[in-house]
Structure 1
């Protein structure tokens, strides 16, 4: 039986009443440490990262339909603090990152320290896997990893979220914008019909192009992906992300799973809870309203 012929999964644990997704990502690791480092001269400690994540979850999950967290810095502390709002579905990051001198995330594998049975036991409803798509690497390895991940989620009764991101060759030059954009679509064609319940996609052209071009890119993703998809925010200028969500949903996306576009302005603030309330909460509410309007228009 093919993925497209199976019954549609129940994604209601991550959806708004409109049926759309307004999900918050707080699973950043060394990239988040680097963001804090831009604003301070002292080392960024693990405790500082954890404290930020706990406060972000406390402030923002009342307005999110799902929240994505990782075990390295967040899950244990967030669960101990009891700060996930009722009705916000918990997504566990099931990806283990290895960095190198060029990239915070140079290699990814399934994290054996985040088994599906454990995720279920802590109240999780989904797991997410980041997949690096590189033009010079054999696709068989990443296809096999995605299939393995999807199977693990099914066995545990969890929603599977797959997040391919286009990257340059491991030792090659950086991708041009055109090459990167082509990689986003190539990744969707390769990995978007492997049985995942939800696909998390990079925004075509980072929304920095004429509207018709952005729409065509989003429509191409809709055509390539078997099942619902949501758009992430990395790489999209902060001021453009609401428009990105609007255009993506107009061309077939079902919402977003975003972190930086929601809380990036808060990094470096002396009063994190206050900054979350002032900047991040209004942005998340705005994005949720965009998703609801798009779903109502269908």
Structure 2
């Protein structure tokens, strides 16, 4: 299955992913080994257990998701088997359909489709969308990416939910990009490769971003808008937290419709003594600020 998919009827769940103003203000809580690493190692060198990840995801969902248009959760640590009673129907539910090849504290090296994310599973948990992360490399993996992106769109269509494809760019050997310009061009190339498969929503790294310098973001966002031909949003991974609000503002100036982000909202509060209280005091205002930026752009 390596031909570009023909999109079906727009999934009925797609409007539920939006704010009342029509943008996307979506909360990401599908991190797995990267979340474990955020807790840090214990004195004996061990990492927190799976129950600690589940506890944080539940707490963050309960506190923050009511202030978002949708929440993204993974199957292994959040919604395995059924829709938890702490996931409300008041906002959209996006299910991560990617199985991650990742060591604790390291980057995601590769992704495959989670075989347990089936049409029946998506119906059982009352999902509104599925999301798949692609690690895009310039010289390798194109055939594999074609198959899995087409499958993501097909499964979503068969389930009657929205399809969301995310691309994070990496060099072939995992080394740093030789220059920011080459990384920015890779972001364009990833979008060009995925666009023909027509996912309902595309999720991109902030285009044109350099730490502390957002002067190129709006222009490069316009290029992404032209390439993808559908709604698209930005992610916060790789963006300094203090830059993210302005990065969203510049991205929506260039045509992005919002964000699907986690780290910029809550990452510095992982492991807090009173996590729910800290999320309420610090993360809710961050999320509200970001939502305000998105909604203002829809007027």
Give the TM-score normalised by structure 2: 0.91
Distance of aligned partners of 1:136 and 1:103 in 2 relative to their CA distance in 1, 3 Å threshold:
farther
1:87 paired to 2:90: yes
Query: Structure 1, residues 126-148: CA drift from partner, whole Å, max 9, x if none?
Result: 10000110112042221221111
Partner of 1:173: 175
Partner of 1:65: 69
Partner of 1:75: 79
Partner of 1:143: 146
**C-alpha contact (below 8 Å) 2:204/2:233 kept by paired residues:** yes
**C-alpha contact (below 8 Å) 1:92/1:126 kept by paired residues:** yes
SS for the counterpart of 2:197 is: coil
Partner of 1:250: 253
**Aligned with residue 216 of structure 2, among 213, 217, 230:** 213
**Aligned with residue 155 of structure 1, among 154, 158, 162:** 158
Cα deviation for residue 263 of structure 1 reads 0.6
**C-alpha contact (below 8 Å) 2:36/2:104 kept by paired residues:** no
Partner of 1:229: 232
1:106 paired to 2:106: no
Cα deviation for residue 76 of structure 1 reads 4.0
Q: How many residues align?
A: 292
Deviates more, 1:7-16 or 1:158-167: 7-16
SS for the counterpart of 1:113 is: coil
**C-alpha contact (below 8 Å) 2:218/2:252 kept by paired residues:** no
**C-alpha contact (below 8 Å) 2:11/2:160 kept by paired residues:** no
Cα distance in 1 for partners of 2:239, 2:216 equals 15
Partner of 2:270: 267
Cα distance in 2 for partners of 1:194, 1:105 equals 23
Partner of 1:201: 204
Alignment of 1:19-58 (within 5 A): 19-37=22-40, 40-41=42-43, 43-58=47-62
Q: Which runs of 5+ in 2 are unaligned?
A: none
**C-alpha contact (below 8 Å) 1:153/1:160 kept by paired residues:** yes
SS for the counterpart of 2:128 is: strand
Distance of aligned partners of 1:100 and 1:26 in 2 relative to their CA distance in 1, 3 Å threshold:
closer
SS for the counterpart of 2:216 is: helix
Query: Structure 1, residues 7-58: CA drift from partner, whole Å, max 9, x if none?
Result: 65552111111110100000000001111116x5353111111100000000
Cα distance in 2 for partners of 1:15, 1:154 equals 19
1:187 paired to 2:184: no
Distance of aligned partners of 1:125 and 1:8 in 2 relative to their CA distance in 1, 3 Å threshold:
closer
Query: Structure 1, residues 87-141: CA drift from partner, whole Å, max 9, x if none?
Result: 2111100001113699442121110011122112211111000011011204222
Distance of aligned partners of 1:102 and 1:71 in 2 relative to their CA distance in 1, 3 Å threshold:
closer
Cα deviation for residue 211 of structure 1 reads 4.1
Q: Which runs of 5+ in 1 are unaligned?
A: none
**Higher helix fraction (1 or 2):** 1
The alignment yields a C-alpha RMSD, in angstroms, of: 2.2
